[in-house]
Amino acid sequence: MVLKVFFPQCCNRADSGLLVGRWITGHDSAVVLAVIHYPFIPGQVKRYIQQMQAQSGVELSVLGSWSLPKEGQEGMESFLRDLSTIFPQERWLQISREIGKTGFICEIMSQNGKKVQQEAKNKSVEEEKDTGLGDGEKEDEEKVIFVHYEQRKVMLSQLHPTETGDHDPKSEPPSELRQMFQTVAQSKPLFFLDKYDDGPLKSTHWQSEGREASIIVELLKQATVPLCLLVTWLLSIWTWICNIKIFSFWPLHFLSSKLSTCVQLSYRTEHMRILSSPKPAVGHTQFMRKANILVSFLVDVALGILLMSWLYRDNHVSVLANTLVPVADHVAKELEELLQWLMGAPAGLKMNRALDQVLGRFFLYHIHLWISYIHLMSPFIEGILWYGGLSACLGLTFALSLLSDMVALLTFHIYCFYVYGARLYCLKIYGLSSLWRLFRGKKWNVLRQRVDSCSYDLDQLFIGTLLFTILLFLLPTTALYYLVFTLLRLVVVLFQGILHLSVDFINSFPLFALGLRICRPYRLAEGVKFSVLCEEPGTALHLLMEINPLKGSTVVQTYRTPTYSCYPRDSWAALIKKLFVGELIYPWRHKTTKTD
């Protein structure tokens, strides 16, 4: 069996002393966390380790001894070997390093049959002294791998996929690397002991370079408490307003579920509730979720304020309002021309003249109504835009949602045309399909949900066939109107869809996680990678363990905030089928289709 020793890089040049760390049970590996220097009082070391164990919850123990002989420190070897009797352990590692050599020499002693082992050891040591070589025969029996790791990075990194909640004791224990990462991360209290402290114990391990900025961090932490309370209070008022009876009545409730501004408002409320919860985030996933929401909220507000500063500078609002009415007029004029074209012989097609004229006049009247509505509205448009622009201070997403709603209201006539066309078309398609069945002497059995054969009277067949013919010959005219207005509708839906997607992108994009991935790649670890360090003959194998950062796409996938776009959408085939049959399409999803 090969023994693995995880050794921190910062202890490479530490003075001789004791190795403090943890044996990983069941994996035959040891994690070295710190080196406690000589001289020390064994009782104090034991008390210190117990204290640290209580604080960190890691089964800390003295793993063995570490010696890096310097001038005038001869005879340390035997002393360090005697230490194994003071700190009784099942196995005792004795790691030594010689000046001028990069490799370590490791010897292992076991508790059972200690004397025999020790004698053998002594002999081998004597042999070593004679021959001057570092490895005895012991090396071949039990091999050692030294895995060097950077303590700080391993302590701060989070191995993916993250574990959810408490570990189930029934399932098999976490893997060796995960245990090693957990051990280093949990033994943070061990690293608080400063190199320059005047304590009874001195140790080498990773220690933070300085905590100058920590005062600001602490002040910020203190400041967030009243802020959170304030936000919670505001939220409670807001939810109270939302829960008033009036809002749950049918028209208002229906409207608010369809207006994207209201949907965005409910999302933002939910996010603020998560952010302002007084409980600190438990676990990595929750912390990342909170941080992502906070960063995307801040970015959103910053973008919104940028938009506002552009909007209210140089009177851009009135310029926008002045261009909006002519644009609406222009659209209406183009639509009128389109209808005129359709009422003639569009693309050389010969339509049913009477139906064509009726439909065309109907739509023309609608456009006329719409234009007068817009002109009635025109004095107020600037005011609406001015006040609507204020919503940008809540964030760019609000401004975009408001824009989407305004587009929906301003293109209401297109929606109306589409609905009329679609309904007419749908009616014809259904009529044709049922009459086609009659034509073949069959009918739809509602009770059994299937097509049965049926014997019709001659009159029925005559009328049915007549109607079928009429419908069939009128179909192209309706289909043409339907096609044109569906295309118009699709343009509007596409525009709204783009707005919704961008809002959703700002809401759900994990900016914090991505920033962490770019600036501190070791924080989000996908795994580890090993590289072989230079090996000298006669020493154990030395590996360097580096952290393999998570891929960018995985970061986005793992940490994106769930919003409505995360749910599966209608497939393209379903959309095309809907368009073909004449069912209505919406930029938002129906509640009923979501459950399907």
Distance CA 523, CA 530 (A): 18
Least distance between other proteins and beta carbon 582 (Å): 44
- 475 sits near other proteins (criterion: CB under 8 A): no
Report CA-CA distances (Å) from 109 to 78, 129, 425, 468, 498: 14, 19, 89, 98, 69
- Cβ 34 vs Cβ 49: under 8 Å: no
Least distance between other proteins and beta carbon 527 (Å): 5
CB-nearer residue toward other proteins: 98 or 176: 176
CA 188, 190, 196, 198 torsion-angle sign: positive
- 552 sits near other proteins (criterion: CB under 8 A): no
- 535 sits near other proteins (criterion: CB under 8 A): yes
Residues numbered 157 to 216 that lie near other proteins (CB under 8 A) are 171-172, 175-177
Q: Applying CB under 8 A, which of residues 147, 190, 396, 488 lies at the interface with other proteins? A: 147
Q: Applying CB under 8 A, which of residues 541, 575, 579, 585 lies at the interface with other proteins? A: 541
Stretch of 87-95, 205-213, 292-300, 521-529 lying at the interface with other proteins (CB under 8 A): 521-529
CB-nearer residue toward other proteins: 493 or 540: 540
Query: What does DSSP assign to residue 112?
Result: T
Q: Applying CB under 8 A, which of residues 76, 120, 145, 544 lies at the interface with other proteins? A: 145
CB-nearer residue toward other proteins: 4 or 560: 4
Q: Are strands 143-149 and 91-97 parallel, antiparallel or unpaired?
A: unpaired
| Binding flags for other proteins, 269-308, as an x/- string (CB under 8 A) | ----------------------------------------
Least distance between other proteins and beta carbon 2 (Å): 4
Least distance between other proteins and beta carbon 522 (Å): 14
Residues numbered 10 to 29 that lie near other proteins (CB under 8 A) are 27-28
CB-nearer residue toward other proteins: 2 or 86: 2
As given in the structure block, the two tokens for residue 248 are: 């749950």
Stretch of 99-107, 154-162, 485-493, 523-531 lying at the interface with other proteins (CB under 8 A): 523-531
Q: Applying CB under 8 A, which of residues 249, 532, 568, 573 lies at the interface with other proteins? A: 532
As given in the structure block, the two tokens for residue 148 are: 């060097």
| Binding residues for other proteins, total number by CB under 8 A | 22
The angle subtended at Cα 31 by Cα 71 and Cα 119, nearest 5°, is 60
- Cβ 204 vs Cβ 10: under 8 Å: yes
Stretch of 142-150, 253-261, 317-325, 479-487 lying at the interface with other proteins (CB under 8 A): 142-150
CA proximity to 405, closest of 565, 587, 246: 587
Assign 3-class secondary structure to 32-101: EEEEEECCCCHHHHHHHHHHHHHHHCCCCEEEEEEECCCCCCCCHHHHHHHHHHHCCCCEEEEEEECCCC
Distance CA 503, CA 395 (A): 10
Residues numbered 319 to 378 that lie near other proteins (CB under 8 A) are none
- Cβ 508 vs Cβ 562: under 8 Å: yes
Could you write out the DSSP letters of every residue in 537-579? TTS-EEEEEEEEEPPHHHHHHHHPPP-GGGS----HHHHHHHH
Distance CA 9, CA 544 (A): 9
- 1 sits near other proteins (criterion: CB under 8 A): yes
- 30 sits near other proteins (criterion: CB under 8 A): no
| Bridge partners, 22 (sequence order) | 31
Q: Applying CB under 8 A, which of residues 316, 368, 529, 590 lies at the interface with other proteins? A: 529
Q: Applying CB under 8 A, which of residues 233, 310, 365, 530 lies at the interface with other proteins? A: 530
Distance CA 335, CA 367 (A): 8
Residues near other proteins (CB under 8 A): 1-2, 4, 27-28, 143, 145, 147, 171-172, 175-177, 527-530, 532, 535, 541, 543, 548
